[in-house]
Amino acid sequence: MRLTTQRQIILEELGKVTSHPTANEVYDMVRKRLPRIGLGTVYRNLELMAESGIILKLEVGGTQKRFDATVTPHYHIRCSSCGKVDDIDLEVQQEINEAAAKTCNYKILGHHIEFSGICSECLEKNGEQLLN
């Protein structure tokens, strides 16, 4: 896949954030640099870049698709209250693949784990605090 100017700018904008934005949020970021770009163009380019492995497409629990510039294996956590998605700084557990392979008739290619919780902002709104 050719990295067009539009795709390059989408990738640059996506790489600036760790919030795992939706296509609409990426569109809002990219429009500041390319005012004439359409939402459909951004969406198609995000899908193409995800299919090509340049970015990740996260289809997390019942929410809009989100996109991630970090393509190396890592885990995510989603706020059950507001839907925010963050990376978790936790080493990927490859032994899960080996354990799963022993229990099924599949060649395991990888795994995706999404943790759920309530983010600090939502806890604060509810007058609660983190326990760690």
Which structure tokens are listed for 124? 């604060």
- CB under 8 Å to 132, separation ≥6 — which residues? none
- HSE-CB at 40 with a 13 A cutoff on CA atoms is 0
Q: Is 20 labelled a binding residue?
A: no
CA dist., res. 92 & res. 71, Å (int): 13
Q: Is 104 labelled a binding residue?
A: no
Could you count the other beta carbons within 10 Å of the beta carbon of residue 44? Answer: 13
Contact (CB, 8 A) for 123 and 82: no
Could you count the other beta carbons within 10 Å of the beta carbon of residue 97? Answer: 14
Please give the annotated binding residues, written as ranges: 79, 82, 111, 119, 122
Please give the annotated binding residues for Zn(2+), written as ranges: 79, 82, 119, 122
Please give the annotated binding residues for Fe cation, written as ranges: 111
